Structure 1
Amino acid sequence: MADKAPAAGSLPQGCDVIVVGGGLVGLSSAWHLAKRGLSVCLLERDYCGRHSSGVNAGGVRTMGRHEAEIPLALASRDDIWRVGQEVVGQDLGFVSCGQLQVLETDQDVQNAQQRVQQLASLGYHHEVMISQEEVRALVPAMAPHVRGGIWVEGDGHAWPYGAVMAFYQAAQAAGVHIHENHCVTQVRQRGSNWVVSARGQTFTAPALVNAAGAWAGQLAQQLGDPVPVTADGLMLMVTQRTASFLSPVLGGSSRPLSLKQFANGTVVIGGGLRCQPNLTDRVADVDLLSLAPSAHTVRSLFPHLAQLPVAHAWGGVEAFLPDGIPVLGPSRNDAHVIHAFGFSAHGFELGPIAGRIVSELLCDGTSRLPIAPFSVGRFF
Structure 2
Amino acid sequence: MNVQQADVVIVGGGFMGAAAAFFLRQHGRSVIVLERDQIGQYASGVNFGNVRRQGRYLCQLELSNRSYHLWKRLPELIGEDLEFLPSGHMRVCYDAAHIADLEAYAQAPEARELDLQIFSGKALHERFPFLGPEVQGGSYAPHDGHANPRLAAPAFARAAVRAGATVHERTEVREVQKVGGDFHIETSDGRRFSAPNLLVTAGAWGDRLSAQFGEPVPLDTNGPQMAVTEPVPYALKTVIGVYTKVPEEVIYFRQIARGNIVIGGGYRSKPDMLNRRAHVEPRSILNQISQMRRLVPGIAPLNIIRVWSGIESYTPDSLPIMGPSGQVDGLYYAFGFCGAGFQLGPGVGAVMAELIATGSTRTRIHDFHINRFAPAPSVNALKKPARTH
TM-score, normalization by structure 1: 0.93
Aligned to 2:23: 32
The answer to whether the 8 A contact 2:221-2:270 is kept is no
**Which stretch has the larger CA shift, 271-280 or 261-270?**
271-280
Q: What is the alpha-carbon distance in structure 2 between the residues aligned to residue 153 and residue 122 of structure 1?
A: 13
How far did 1:166 drift?
1.6
**Matched letter for residue 360 of structure 1:** E
Aligned to 1:181: 170
Per-residue Cα deviation, 1:279-324 (whole angstroms, up to 9, x for no partner)? 0110111111122222211101222222211111100001110000
Question: Do the aligned partners of residues 144 and 290 (structure 1) sit closer, same or farther apart at CA in structure 2, a change above 3 Å counting?
Answer: closer
How far did 1:122 drift?
7.0
Aligned to 1:314: 308
Aligned to 1:88: 78
Q: Secondary structure at the match of 1:69?
A: helix
Q: What is the alpha-carbon distance in structure 1 between the residues aligned to residue 195 and residue 134 of structure 2?
A: 59
Aligned to 1:18: 9
**Matched letter for residue 35 of structure 1:** Q
Per-residue Cα deviation, 1:178-234 (whole angstroms, up to 9, x for no partner)? 100111111001111001111211111110000000000001111221111122111
Aligned to 1:41: 32
**Matched letter for residue 128 of structure 1:** Q
Count of residues in Structure 1 that have an aligned counterpart in Structure 2? 368
1:365 aligns with 2:359: yes
1:69 aligns with 2:66: no
1:232 aligns with 2:226: no
**Which stretch has the larger CA shift, 131-140 or 52-61?**
131-140
**Matched letter for residue 228 of structure 1:** P
Question: Do the aligned partners of residues 86 and 244 (structure 1) sit closer, same or farther apart at CA in structure 2, a change above 3 Å counting?
Answer: closer
Aligned to 1:161: 150
Q: Secondary structure at the match of 2:316?
A: coil
Q: What is the alpha-carbon distance in structure 1 between the residues aligned to residue 200 and residue 7 of structure 2?
A: 15
How far did 1:23 drift?
0.4
**Matched letter for residue 140 of structure 2:** W
RMSD (CA atoms): 1.7
Q: What is the alpha-carbon distance in structure 2 between the residues aligned to residue 284 and residue 91 of structure 1?
A: 28
How far did 1:121 drift?
7.6
**Matched letter for residue 227 of structure 1:** V
**Matched letter for residue 31 of structure 2:** V
1:276 aligns with 2:270: yes
Q: Secondary structure at the match of 1:13?
A: strand
The answer to whether the 8 A contact 1:47-1:180 is kept is yes
1:336 aligns with 2:323: no
Where does the alignment leave 5 or more consecutive residues of structure 1 unmatched? 1-10
Aligned with 1:257 (options 245, 251, 258): 251
Q: What is the alpha-carbon distance in structure 2 between the residues aligned to residue 125 and residue 49 of structure 1?
A: 28
How far did 1:123 drift?
5.1
**Matched letter for residue 307 of structure 2:** A
Aligned to 2:197: 207
Q: What is the alpha-carbon distance in structure 2 between the residues aligned to residue 30 and residue 61 of structure 1?
A: 23
**Which stretch has the larger CA shift, 18-27 or 83-92?**
83-92
1:197 aligns with 2:183: no
**Which stretch has the larger CA shift, 142-151 or 344-353?**
142-151
**Which stretch has the larger CA shift, 352-361 or 100-109?**
100-109
Aligned pairs (5 A) from 1:348-363:
348-363=342-357
**Matched letter for residue 224 of structure 1:** G
**Matched letter for residue 358 of structure 1:** M
TM-score, normalization by structure 2: 0.91
1:103 aligns with 2:93: yes
Aligned to 1:304: 298
Aligned with 2:281 (options 260, 270, 287): 287
Question: Do the aligned partners of residues 121 and 191 (structure 1) sit closer, same or farther apart at CA in structure 2, a change above 3 Å counting?
Answer: closer
Where does the alignment leave 5 or more consecutive residues of structure 2 unmatched? 375-389
The answer to whether the 8 A contact 1:236-1:273 is kept is no
The answer to whether the 8 A contact 2:241-2:252 is kept is yes
Q: Secondary structure at the match of 1:169?
A: helix
